Amino acid sequence: MVQQLSLFSVIDDGSYDLCISTLSALSGLPPIIFSNFSMVSMPNQSYDIERVNSKNQLIEQCRIKACCPVPLDRLLANDVPKDYKAMKKLQEDDISGFDMPYFQNLLAKAQDPDAMLTDDSDESQVSWTLSISDIPSAGNNRKVSMQTITESTVASIGGTSTSILSFLTQLGYVQDFQHLTAGVKYNMSHGVVLELSKVWKIHDGKTTQITKGGYLVKAYVNVQKGTDIKRINRGVQSLCALQKELNGYIDLEVPDRKAMDSRIDNLDTL
C-alpha cells in the first residue's frame, strides 16, 4: 500500500520534442520509454455481495486493475527505432503493430512458475500487478492529489486454471474494459517521477486513442506509509517545487478527484 501524491497536466503533440529536451536538461537524464497493457475488472454483479461489514458500515465496491508491461515491438513497426522519438509514430487511433490475439493470449496465458524457470523468453515471464485505488482525499485547499493505492504482484498462479483472467474470475471479478498506455518517464530529483503518456482504449479488437492530439502529463511521488507525515510533506514540497519550475510551460494541477474514482458507481473513465 502506498500513498501517491500527484499533479497532472497535458501538452499537445507539437510540444513533445521541446518538452523532452526541457525535461532531459532539467533532470540530467535521458527519457525512459515504457508501454503497459491494463485490464480493469469490476465485481461480478451476478453474485449477492454484502454491502455492509460486521459494524454495519457501508462498503464501496471498487474496480481492480491488472497491469503488465508489453514489448514496444507489439505497438510499433519493426523499422521504427524504439526510443523516445517512437512516440511521434503513435498519434492516431490505429497502432501499426497492434496484435489483438497477442493481448488475448496475455489474459489467457498460464502463469506457470515451472515454465518461467525453464523458458528464457520474455513471453513466458509476464508478471501482473493488481491494484485497487481509493478516491483521492477531499479538500479545496490541497496542493496535490493524495490517493491510497493498494498493489500486489502476481508472479505465478496455482491450480488447474492459472491465467490472470481465471484468477480474477475466481476472485469474483469480470472484465470491464481494457486499455494500452505508452510513453516516456523521467526520474526527477527527490523521488519525483514525471510521465508523458498516450492512452488507447481497446474495444472489439480495435484501439481508440483517449489522448488524441496530446499527451497526459503526470508527476507523482509514492510514500510507503500513509502515516509518514514527514515524507508526505517532503513529497508535497518536491511536487510544488517542480510545479513552480515548470509554470507557464507545463501547468501541473490537482485533477478532479471524481475522475480518479475507481468505485463501480462511477463512470469507466479511469
| Strands 214-223 and 2-12, sheet pairing | antiparallel
Residues 45-81, buried b or exposed e (16+ Cβ, 10 A)? eeeeeeeeeeeeeeeeebbbbbbbebebebbbeeebe
pLDDT on residue 20? 96
pLDDT on residue 247? 93
pLDDT on residue 120? 47
Per-residue pLDDT, averaged over 255-262, amounts to 89
pLDDT on residue 109? 75
Cα–Cα dist 111/134, whole Å: 28
Question: Which cell is 124 given?
Answer: 513466458
Residue-averaged pLDDT of the chain: 87
Question: Which of 27-41, 52-66, 216-230 is the least confident region?
Answer: 52-66
Per-residue pLDDT, averaged over 74-103, amounts to 86
Domain annotation for the chain: domains and CATH numbers: 2-260 (2.40.320.10)
Which among 179, 149, 196 is positioned nearest to 21, based on CA atoms?
A: 196
pLDDT on residue 118? 42
DSSP secondary structure string, 122-164? GGG---EEEEEEPPPPP-TT-SSEEEEEEEEEE----SS--BH
**Is pLDDT of 270 > 60?**
no
Q: What is the pTM of this model?
A: 0.88
Question: Which cell is 128 given?
Answer: 501482473
**Is pLDDT of 23 > 80?**
yes
Which among 212, 202, 187 is positioned nearest to 10, based on CA atoms?
A: 212
pLDDT on residue 61? 86
Which among 199, 218, 196 is positioned nearest to 5, based on CA atoms?
A: 218
Which among 149, 101, 97, 124 is positioned nearest to 260, based on CA atoms?
A: 149
CB atoms within 10 A of CB 42: 19
pLDDT on residue 268? 54
In the chain, the amino acid numbered 41 is S
**Is pLDDT of 116 > 70?**
no
What Rg, from alpha-carbon coordinates, does the chain have? 20
pLDDT on residue 111? 56
